[in-house]
Amino acid sequence: MTTAAQSKAKPVAVRDVRDHRSSGAERVHLSCTRCGHEVVYSMAETKCTECGWEWLDLVYRGVTREDMITGNDALGRTSMWRYRKFLPVRDDRNIVSMGEGMTPLLHVGRFGERFGLHNVYIKDERPSATGSFKDRAASICISNWVEDGVKEMAISSTGNVAASFAAYSARAGIRLWIFMPEKVNTTKYTEVLFYGHNVVKVEGNYDQAGVMAKRFAQAKGIAADPGIRSPLRRESMKALAFEIAEDLGWDVPDWYIQAVSGGIGPLGVWKGFRELYDLGLTHKMPKIACIQASGCAPMAQAFLLDSDEIFEVKPHTEIETLTTGRPAGYPLIYKVVKDSGGHIGSVEDDEAFAAQELLAQTEGVFAESAAAVAFGGLIRMAKEGLIKPDEKVVAVCSGKGLRDIDFVRRRMKQSIFISLPGECDDFSAIQIRPE
């Protein structure tokens, strides 16, 4: 049965055109999000050729719901490339993959019940090749770089993007110049350097590192990755939505929750859920919740004022992955969250750690500090009544906790460590740890 909402829905991202199948080269188009003008996709197109707008989306001609359901039989459920017909690579031989995507969707009942929630799930991205959901972006972007003959690129990152892009670029034989803020922890620097690329430590924050990467690229005559402005970056996150819906039996959660810095993830996930809706595979859209670290929360501050304008903030959080002081994509995030009936909030670093610890001790999931911000936000939203007890919630565990181990070490209770000599018969000093 077609609902009233479906009959009024206007397709946004997917073109289900059975009688107008384009050639492989013309399957993927760029569409201006302001005027709707379309051109055949090319990495060289960075602005609308009609109105000059720089926010472009990828659209697909000739795709059907059957394409989504059956996917790529040759790949099965081994990676996000199962949804090959909804991803922007013209020739499969150019795909650079290490099995990213198709990560577990875990029901975390013990964690959720602590706050009266019965249907909490985690999209667990820790099994990805480098332990982060940024592997999705690396696979999509670098596959397109290979397709376009890119040999050298400059990027900026607080760590996770750097590690993912460094690994996948090494696999593709592409040389990277990686600009990272000085406060990034040594574990991340070591990992990135190990892949053999050029790493530049910038005496400043993430925004300044981004500026320096672009200036360097211009001076050297090479390309610089545009970050959130790249439709490829946003596109890489939409397979999260496909996987979540498929694992839920082509259903959609009531809430999708993610920690954000620049906001690429929720924009891509929203697009993915929209494509499923337009294909008629699902019958509603989720509410989107974006959670920031309170020490760098320009989106949350603007949303509290119900404003789509943002003011730059100077980061003062230990969660270095979430330190974009002036996220360029906020107006798009604001619209998505408002349209979905969602929420943008923030939590303190200590709240994030408390959620991180609870998740580990109730569900065995050791999440990175940035992911813990999402779970801290989930807890706060539950306590404030924004999430109802029976609503289905999916929060993203964006990466593994060991990558940001210093954040944990600074907060762990020293009393949990017990030291004994190698030969000992007296165990009276050992006490049971309180629940």
The tens digit of pLDDT for each residue in 81-98 reads 999 999 999 899 999 999
Instruction: Please state, for a pLDDT cut of 90, what percent of the chain lies above it.
Output: 78
In which region does residue 52 sit, left (phi positive, over 0), alpha (psi from -120 to 50) or beta (all else)? left
Per-residue pLDDT for 64 more than 80?
yes
Q: What is the pLDDT at residue 25? A: 53
Rounded mean pLDDT of 274-302? 97
The answer to whether residues 276 and 244 touch, using CB atoms and an 8 Å cutoff, is no
Confidence at 76, pLDDT banded by 50, 70, 90: low
Q: Which of 58-72, 122-136, 175-189, 408-422 has the highest mean pLDDT?
A: 122-136
30-39, 101-110, 211-220, 418-427: segment of lowest average pLDDT: 418-427
Mean pLDDT for the chain overall: 89
Order across the sheet with 14-15: list the strands. 14-15, 56-61, 28-32, 38-40
Q: pTM of the entire structure?
A: 0.90
* Residue 52 amino acid letter: G
The answer to whether residues 258 and 396 touch, using CB atoms and an 8 Å cutoff, is yes
pLDDT digits (tens, 9 = 90+) for 188-209: 899 999 999 999 999 988 889 9
What stretches of 324-368 show up as alpha helix (H) in DSSP? 330-340, 349-363
Rounded mean pLDDT of 65-93? 84
| 125 alpha carbon, distance to own chain's centre | 10
Per-residue pLDDT for 415 more than 80?
no
Per-residue pLDDT for 230 more than 70?
yes
Confidence at 432, pLDDT banded by 50, 70, 90: low
Q: What is the pLDDT at residue 435? A: 57
Rounded mean pLDDT of 108-129? 97
Rounded mean pLDDT of 163-175? 97
Q: What is the pLDDT at residue 70? A: 81
The token pair at 133 is 């959901």
61 forms beta bridges with 15
Q: What is the pLDDT at residue 27? A: 85
417 or 291: whose pLDDT is higher? 291
431 or 223: whose pLDDT is higher? 223
Confidence at 397, pLDDT banded by 50, 70, 90: very high
Q: What is the pLDDT at residue 221? A: 95
Confidence at 294, pLDDT banded by 50, 70, 90: very high
* Residue 89 amino acid letter: V
Count of residues in the chain: 435
Instruction: Please state, for a pLDDT cut of 70, what percent of the chain lies above it.
Output: 90
Per-residue pLDDT for 275 more than 70?
yes
Per-residue pLDDT for 37 more than 80?
yes
Per-residue pLDDT for 8 more than 50?
no
Rounded mean pLDDT of 304-314? 95
